[in-house]
Amino acid sequence: MLMLFPIVLALAGDPAPAPEASSAARPTPLTEIGRVRALPACVPIVAHANGAITQALDNDRTLAMMSINAHSTDYDKQNMFQRRNAVAALMKQAEAIRIASSAGDVEVKKLREYANAATDPQRKAELKAFADALGGALYRQKKAAVEFMRNVTVIQGREAAEAARADMPPVQGKPMPGSAMAQSTEPPRIGQIVGAPENYNKVFAEIADRLDSDSEMVHVDEGTAADHSIAATSGC
């Protein structure tokens, strides 16, 4: 029985490593700043901060809706007109994000002006960190929307090219090399647009997955902004 004590003591002295809280911790949720937490002299800063935060939170909701719709819609069972309308709705949402992000960036620039004018080093650092993180979130949202629109535009271009080829009359005789008719009969080159997707559901699921990945990075920036929000807007 005594032989067990060294083993037990050794195990007790070398506990299993605790899971890293930082890697599993979720970013601090970003919320609008309550005016009651800020001194009166900081009200202008709070107003610009809340203006940018509102745009970012609206974009979060729109990105989530876009992802849900892109994942759940059965595009392969839709006819051309139904699919066109569904995609147009997504493009409209992406454009709304692009516009809102630009509007939020105007507010962030005002916050950076306040940071540059601040005389207290601590407040200057907090306000700059807050503005940079919030600006980063808005930039990521805008970039995600623009990339989504670009991907959809490529798909639409392939659809249009395929429809144009289908409407072309059959070639009579041997066409001149390099002509449009010759290009329509030549095998596609590597990287050349060859037509619309065979599986729309798969393509839009991949696009939606990218939106989800972008949203995760947005939340990290928003969490950093939230951590600095009160110190950045108080103590004026």
Chain segment 174-206, per-residue pLDDT in tens: 555 554 444 444 443 333 334 456 789 999 999
pLDDT at 198: 74
Residue 168, amino acid = M
At 135-176, the pLDDT tens digits run 999 999 999 999 999 999 998 888 777 767 766 665 555 555
- As a whole number, mean pLDDT of residues 112-127 equals 94
Q: Does the pLDDT of residue 72 top 70, yes or no?
A: yes
SS3 111: helix
Domain residue extents for the chain: 38-163+195-233
pLDDT at 195: 46
pLDDT at 39: 53
Q: Does the pLDDT of residue 236 top 80, yes or no?
A: no
Q: Does the pLDDT of residue 11 top 50, yes or no?
A: no
Question: How would residue 97 be classed by pLDDT, with cut points 50, 70 and 90?
Answer: very high
Question: How would residue 15 be classed by pLDDT, with cut points 50, 70 and 90?
Answer: very low
pLDDT at 161: 77
Distance CA 12, CA 51 (A): 54
Instruction: At 144, list the tokens.
Output: 């995600």
Cα atoms found within 13 Å of the Cα of residue 56, Cβ hemisphere only: 33
Task: Pick the closest to residue 212 from 70, 42, 92, 4 (CA basis).
Answer: 70
Greater model confidence, 51 or 20: 51
Q: Does the pLDDT of residue 102 top 70, yes or no?
A: yes
- As a whole number, mean pLDDT of residues 96-125 equals 96
Distance CA 188, CA 224 (A): 48
Cα radius of gyration rounded to whole Å, the chain: 27
Average pLDDT, the chain: 81
